[in-house]
Structure 1
Amino acid sequence: MNKYSILFIITILISGLNATAQEDNRFFPEKDLITTGIYYYPEHWNENQWERDIKKISGMGYEFVHLAEFAWFKMEPREGKFDFDWLDKVIRLCARYNLKVLMCTPSATTPAWMRTQYPETFVMDGHYIRAEHGTRGLGSIVNPVYRKFVATIVTEMARRYGQNKNVIGWQLDNEPDAKPDYSPSSQEAFRQWLKNKYKTIEALNAAWGAAFWSQWYSDFDQIIIPNTSLVGWWGNNPHALLDFKRYLADAQAEFLDFEATTLRSYISKAQFVTTNYTAVSTGADPRRTNKLDFATYTAYPNGGTDNIGEQGFRLGNSKVILFAAEYYKMAGGVSGVMEIQPGPVNWGNYNPLLLPGTVRMWLYHAFAAGGKLACSYRFRQINYSAEQYHAGVIQPDGITPSQGGEEYMQFIKEMKELRKQYKPGVAMPATLAARSTAVLWNLENYWTIDRQKQTSQWDTWNYPVKFLEIAKSFGAPVDVVPETADLSKYRFVIVPAYEMADGALVKKWSEYVANGGHLIITCRTATKDRMGHFWEAEWAAPISALIGAQVKATDMLSNNGKGEILMGSAHYSWNNWGDLLAPDKGTETLAVFDNQFYKGKAAVVKHKVGKGTVTYIGVDTDDSKLERDVLRGIYDGAGADTENYPPGIYVYWRDGFYVAVNYSSDSYTMDMPETANIIVGEKTLQPGGVLVWKLPSYIKN
């Protein structure tokens, strides 16, 4: 391919990436960059303190206040009796002090009268014990009585605030998690879900492999939710459990869509509708919702884990925002952090003070990754109840900013300066567009792998994050995308452990490669069909032609096992998972196993298809050195110059700004042109540091 062809491809990629960035600016104008907010719970405090608090929020620079998500008891103190006068007052105070309002539906915290009078509205656990009043997220979202009460309170709120110009949007529920529910309502809903999916009991028996252990059903009414609490983890049918996870995710998504539909009958089109998933959500699936404008996430990076280096436990888990900020763009194309901690939490293994600058770094990370809003939990540290030790931006005296509060104010002040320097329509530099990368991910693959890991060393959730980290270490712009995404926008597509696949998906991958894309597939891909059955064929049969090799067998070593791999003259270690590959004629072997009884067998292969390449990495290593070197060779071979950022150093380009953050325990000096204009920070990033810079437009970068 000549240089003009490469430049043409990069130009197309740039326009595609810019189109993605411009998908939805109705609610968040580009010039604003990011909008800041804070959680406030007026129901927790004396009314004579409300104005003082709202005035303080405004004075700190926040732009919106997050209200009412846990206040059902206050809005409907008795069944059918509503009181919004107190909330009206708070909203008027917000308007007086130039603060917008993000309103929340309170479905996560049902009032005591509901549990007393309608106990059937609560979930049941795996021992068929009904949940009790006293915490959040225990309503049975498929129970019709609970649904009726939710519809009523949401309708009352929407009628009252849906046309209020000071209300910018709505958050549905709180951290929806597709909680397992074994209640009678859920049992019936699960059976109905199965009837809709399979139509006949014969089709279900085939899909579930019900001939095994006499699990055969003659009628849908015989089916109960598969229950690992009573049957035992190892004895459960993996296909039935997969369907249970799908049902829970569908039920959660439908519940959110139900709330959104109720709202939209009354609210202004200028008000957005979103929800706040947890950063690591292994149950709820953002792809399944249809009525949200976009999805947001909660981020608690610091929860008593060691992380990177000696100071890592004070800097937080670098993977949290890294993955969530990309993953939740699947629903609506944009995202933001709805709930981020401003200091120590109360639920970690231990809850240390943060290294000064850490909260500000997290905020910049969320911004750098494209976040449209950044909202902190919470304004005042509560003086009582379950979260007393959970920090706020204001200390328990109700007046003094915490360290996190000071850092939030610094971020807001600096963001105002970035807004002044923002210029619309700046194209992503060609060097970055040449590295454009997608990581393909489907939560269902997490479910099926996590159910049958085959080795305790398999790190299910962090496996796709590994490849996101590698691509970011190259300085690549990376999206986490569903299989329905337009892959042609990316020069590199990584498919990590995509266990369940079908012919249509493999065809899409093949077409992407034939048209010039570079596809990286890893072990545990296409080993099963969409129901989690092995193919009645060779191992991973659907991708054999694509990767130009057959997977002949798979090995896993003990915790202390020392597998060796040779790639060129470099040696690598592995002990988690190893696919033994038999390459076809014309397929290049990049790495081989260098010990064990199968020494010399291929471990990594590369296959040319049309204008592009497919690389299959058949090994999962702990240190990721092999995977990193394989990927670097692919990027370099495609003419994409790469960086070499160390672990914990993440560099982004957004809206004309370069942004770097440092989660590591060591300082790092950024290599940049002498003409770079540093706006925030210094060239050498300290641990927890932030660096923002721009390049003159005439510099080719």
Structure 2
Amino acid sequence: MRKFITIFIITFLISPSASKAQETSRFFKEKDLVTTGIYYYPEHWDEAQWERDIKKIAEMGFEFVHLAEFAWFKMEPQEARFDFNWLDRVVNLCTRYHLKVLLCTPSATTPTWMRVNYPETFVMDGHYIRAENGTRGLESIVNSKYRDFVKKVVAEMARRYGQNKDVIGWQIDNEPGAVPDYSPASQEAFRTWLKNKYKTIDALNTAWGAAFWSQWFNSFDQVIIPNTNLVGWWGNNPHALLDFKRYSADSQADFLDFQAGILRDYISKAQFVTTNYTAVCTGSDPRRTRKLDFAAYTAYPNGDTDNIGESGFRLGNSDVVLFASEYYKSVGGVSGVMEIQPGPVNWGSYNPLLLPGTVRLWLYHGFAAGGKIACSYRFRQILYGAEQYHAGVIQTDGVTPSQGGKDYMQFMKEIADLRKQFKPETKMLAKLAARSTAILWNVENYWSIDRQKQTGQWNTWDYPVKFLKTAKSLGAPVDVIQETTDLSKYKVVIVPAYEMVDAALVKKWNDYVTKGGHLIITCRTATKDRRGHFWEGEAAMPILNLIGAHIHQTDMLSSYGKGDVLMNSNHYSWHSWADLLLPDTTTAVLVTYNNQFYKGTAAAVVHKIGRGSVTYIGVDTDDFKLEKDLLQKIYKEAGATTEDYPPGVFVYWRDGFYTALNYSSENYTVNLPDTAKILIGEKVLKPAGVLIWKE
């Protein structure tokens, strides 16, 4: 039996990003606004077509070409025999046509010889069955043999292209998702991770509540990765599963930093290092990395998604870009979309045509939210393989632009025009700054809540997104932040369903409010400590003084239940979650329950502390109108005016430009001030429409 060598994984804390913001700005010239690129896979095409394709990429207006992502088999066709001559020719073609290059390390797709000769380099699933080659992302990232191979190919690439002035940066891997791995190498790495975190087996037993159901361990050697496949969903230990998620995310972060460290030994400081996380990121935690310059994201808003109105399924889900564009900026201060689909996909339950202009809408959404990169997957629609039906910017004939390609060309032409209008150091208007809002979110709370939702009607991912959409509908600039972020620069901070807290975090919230901040805390916040344990005391004990109330009980209704709450004679419906609040004498009641046996009990309260206020929203309403009305009230009390944009319409301010986007199925007339100068689009926004103006 082959011996496995354990890789030591460090437990990462959430990483600060403020110090990185200035560092990453050197990679992108402010005056360029956004840099556009396209994925190209020369290994898929006859070499006789390469120059034609590269020339076409340049003619369409792209600025860089994304290469080598899945080409390990071509760079290392046999173990330890490398061949980069073909890639040299492609890079040289890009240089000839004045295109920059973004290279990708190929670790997501191992060559067949590795699986044949070294099967241990692949993950095991929850039934302890080895994965096979033939797809991507199933390598055991903690396996030492696999890492040896990765180190060699990455070093060879970096030595060859690390000082090439036409290479602007590197993407590590592809859509790193922290795939659960139950292989022997992972079991050993997990035990090492636990030893590093807990030091003693007694500490682990306490953290995991191992006294329950006789799960007690006598040594770390007895511990195995918790496995819902073999124990059953109900029987699994939630604290052990939480640690497995943390370990997997730490392993993924360590693997990315491992590759970044190899690159740094060879590459120019002018070349950035990033990766492309999925927009809905629930396995990896980008904030755990230390050596990436910034985090980019993959966005696929389409794919059998019903959005708003009869045309919504052709416009895609705005939430995808909406949340990702803000969340990933919290890693390195900047972000952008590394992979966006230019047409129908192949994986939806149905895959409709997009409304013409939709791809342009998505691109402008990423731009409006501050994106520095807009890259599309991919140039040519492939003729074979698993993604035959995955559209490209060029159709299957290899020369004709698709509708998405036309959208992309229009976007790039318009960005070139906007660059001429750019004025550096333009400051945000005071009316926008007065609404500045932050949403605190981390993936660990997602892991914890989603394991024990208590009701199938709770949507763990969607809940913070609803607050983001609501704040945007009121015209607020919104950041998605992490715990280390300075709160003082925000007028309003929203803490949605932040289940696990500690005393230091609660003190930070209290200090923010005391100094004049407006804090919104919602149900399911502070119900557990960082281990996922309840407090030995009242529910949400650490924040009771902060919110000025006690959480007496919690209720949930059936899917056909009809809960009613009342605020200022206005009725709102709910059925998912309801905290029953007992306010202190100094706390004002904002909302009460209007039916059920606890009619008259408080559902939302406000508590004044120092110069600021804490609003606790204990109920999750069906249409979120209550939350919107409460948020509008808080902005008003903070001295800010608000807008009232309908669902699907988003307005951003960036670098002196206002951008309005329409994901709805109806026309929307933008209320422009007399001083507005329209640069792109029209005042009447059609579905998929974009309007850009300056004031």
The verdict on a shared fold, with TM-score over 0.5 as the criterion, is yes
Counterpart residue number, 1:134: 134
Counterpart residue number, 2:651: 651
**1:554–1:577 contact (8 Å) kept in structure 2:** yes
Counterpart residue number, 1:519: 519
Q: How does 1:333-372 map to 2 (within 5 A)?
A: 333-372=333-372
**1:516–1:613 contact (8 Å) kept in structure 2:** yes
**1:18–1:427 contact (8 Å) kept in structure 2:** no
User: What is the one-letter code of the residue matched to 1:329?
Assistant: K
**1:305–1:349 contact (8 Å) kept in structure 2:** no
- d(CA) in 1 for partners of 2:631 and 2:657? 26
Q: What SS class does the counterpart of residue 142 from structure 1 fall into?
A: coil
Q: Deviations over 1:229-264 (max 9, x none)?
A: 111111100000000000000000000000000000
Q: Cα distance, 1:586 vs. partner?
A: 1.2
- d(CA) in 1 for partners of 2:189 and 2:22? 39
Counterpart residue number, 1:11: none
Q: Cα distance, 1:370 vs. partner?
A: 0.2
Q: What SS class does the counterpart of residue 405 from structure 2 fall into?
A: helix
Counterpart residue number, 2:46: 46
Task: Name which of structure 1's ranges 33-42 and 19-28 shifts more when overlaid on structure 2.
Answer: 19-28
Q: What SS class does the counterpart of residue 598 from structure 2 fall into?
A: coil
Q: What SS class does the counterpart of residue 120 from structure 1 fall into?
A: helix
Q: What SS class does the counterpart of residue 404 from structure 1 fall into?
A: helix
Q: What SS class does the counterpart of residue 414 from structure 1 fall into?
A: helix
User: What is the one-letter code of the residue matched to 2:547?
Assistant: I
Q: Deviations over 1:188-225 (max 9, x none)?
A: 00000000000000000000000000000000000110
Q: How does 1:501-520 map to 2 (within 5 A)?
A: 501-520=501-520
Counterpart residue number, 2:571: 571
Q: Cα distance, 1:389 vs. partner?
A: 0.3
Counterpart residue number, 2:596: 596
User: What is the one-letter code of the residue matched to 1:205?
Assistant: N
Q: What SS class does the counterpart of residue 49 from structure 2 fall into?
A: helix
Counterpart residue number, 1:170: 170
- d(CA) in 2 for partners of 1:488 and 1:216? 45
Counterpart residue number, 1:13: none
Q: Deviations over 1:541-597 (max 9, x none)?
A: 000000000001000000000000011110110000000000001100000000000
1:285 equivalent to 2:280? Answer no
1:236 equivalent to 2:229? Answer no
**1:441–1:480 contact (8 Å) kept in structure 2:** yes
Q: What SS class does the counterpart of residue 24 from structure 1 fall into?
A: helix
User: What is the one-letter code of the residue matched to 1:167?
Assistant: V
Count residues in correspondence: 679
Q: What SS class does the counterpart of residue 194 from structure 1 fall into?
A: helix
1:70 equivalent to 2:70? Answer yes
Counterpart residue number, 1:625: 625
Counterpart residue number, 2:30: 30
Q: How does 1:100-111 map to 2 (within 5 A)?
A: 100-111=100-111
Q: Deviations over 1:297-337 (max 9, x none)?
A: 00000011211111000000010000000001121110000
Q: Cα distance, 1:636 vs. partner?
A: 1.0
1:528 equivalent to 2:528? Answer yes
**2:18–2:333 contact (8 Å) kept in structure 1:** no
Counterpart residue number, 1:453: 453
Counterpart residue number, 1:662: 662
Q: What SS class does the counterpart of residue 149 from structure 2 fall into?
A: helix
Q: Cα distance, 1:631 vs. partner?
A: 0.8
Counterpart residue number, 2:13: none
**2:24–2:294 contact (8 Å) kept in structure 1:** no
User: What is the one-letter code of the residue matched to 1:500?
Assistant: M
Aligned CA-pair RMSD: 1.1
- d(CA) in 1 for partners of 2:491 and 2:21? 17
Q: Cα distance, 1:163 vs. partner?
A: 0.3
Q: What SS class does the counterpart of residue 616 from structure 1 fall into?
A: strand
- d(CA) in 1 for partners of 2:205 and 2:621? 38
Q: Deviations over 1:605-644 (max 9, x none)?
A: 0000000000000011221011111111111111110000
- d(CA) in 1 for partners of 2:306 and 2:672? 31
Counterpart residue number, 1:585: 585
Q: Cα distance, 1:108 vs. partner?
A: 0.1
Counterpart residue number, 2:91: 91
User: What is the one-letter code of the residue matched to 1:641?
Assistant: T
**1:303–1:351 contact (8 Å) kept in structure 2:** yes
- d(CA) in 1 for partners of 2:32 and 2:401? 25
Counterpart residue number, 2:8: none
- d(CA) in 2 for partners of 1:20 and 1:450? 31
Counterpart residue number, 1:307: 307
Q: Cα distance, 1:484 vs. partner?
A: 0.9
- d(CA) in 2 for partners of 1:170 and 1:471? 35
Q: Cα distance, 1:19 vs. partner?
A: 11
- d(CA) in 1 for partners of 2:47 and 2:646? 50
Counterpart residue number, 1:434: 434
Q: What SS class does the counterpart of residue 530 from structure 1 fall into?
A: coil
Q: Deviations over 1:334-377 (max 9, x none)?
A: 00000000000000111000001100000000000000000000
Consecutive unaligned residues in structure 1, runs of 5 or more: 1-16, 696-701
Counterpart residue number, 2:562: 562
**1:438–1:494 contact (8 Å) kept in structure 2:** yes
User: What is the one-letter code of the residue matched to 1:131?
Assistant: A
Q: Cα distance, 1:24 vs. partner?
A: 3.4
Note closer, same or farther for the CA distance 1:314–1:630 as it changes in structure 2 (3 Å cut): same
Counterpart residue number, 1:57: 57
Q: Deviations over 1:508-527 (max 9, x none)?
A: 00000000000000000000
Note closer, same or farther for the CA distance 1:437–1:651 as it changes in structure 2 (3 Å cut): same
Q: How does 1:408-557 map to 2 (within 5 A)?
A: 408-557=408-557
Matched-pair identity in %: 75
User: What is the one-letter code of the residue matched to 2:359?
Assistant: V
Counterpart residue number, 1:248: 248
- d(CA) in 2 for partners of 1:100 and 1:24? 18
**1:73–1:110 contact (8 Å) kept in structure 2:** yes
User: What is the one-letter code of the residue matched to 2:316?
Assistant: G
User: What is the one-letter code of the residue matched to 2:458?
Assistant: W
- d(CA) in 1 for partners of 2:642 and 2:585? 31
- d(CA) in 1 for partners of 2:663 and 2:622? 20
Q: What SS class does the counterpart of residue 362 from structure 1 fall into?
A: helix
User: What is the one-letter code of the residue matched to 1:546?
Assistant: L
Q: Cα distance, 1:18 vs. partner?
A: 12
Q: Cα distance, 1:21 vs. partner?
A: 7.5
User: What is the one-letter code of the residue matched to 1:566?
Assistant: L
- d(CA) in 1 for partners of 2:196 and 2:443? 22
User: What is the one-letter code of the residue matched to 2:311?
Assistant: Q
Q: Cα distance, 1:22 vs. partner?
A: 6.0
Q: What SS class does the counterpart of residue 269 from structure 2 fall into?
A: coil
Q: What SS class does the counterpart of residue 328 from structure 2 fall into?
A: helix
**2:338–2:374 contact (8 Å) kept in structure 1:** yes
**1:18–1:428 contact (8 Å) kept in structure 2:** no
Counterpart residue number, 2:186: 186
- d(CA) in 2 for partners of 1:688 and 1:260? 38
Counterpart residue number, 1:8: none
1:264 equivalent to 2:281? Answer no
Q: What SS class does the counterpart of residue 332 from structure 2 fall into?
A: coil
User: What is the one-letter code of the residue matched to 1:647?
Assistant: P
- d(CA) in 2 for partners of 1:490 and 1:19? 18
**1:657–1:694 contact (8 Å) kept in structure 2:** yes
Q: What SS class does the counterpart of residue 561 from structure 1 fall into?
A: coil
**2:21–2:332 contact (8 Å) kept in structure 1:** no
Q: Deviations over 1:243-291 (max 9, x none)?
A: 0000000000000000000000000000000000000010000110000
Q: Cα distance, 1:20 vs. partner?
A: 9.9
Q: Cα distance, 1:485 vs. partner?
A: 0.5
**2:649–2:660 contact (8 Å) kept in structure 1:** yes
Q: What SS class does the counterpart of residue 24 from structure 2 fall into?
A: coil
**2:20–2:332 contact (8 Å) kept in structure 1:** no
Q: Cα distance, 1:23 vs. partner?
A: 6.4
1:693 equivalent to 2:677? Answer no
**1:653–1:659 contact (8 Å) kept in structure 2:** yes
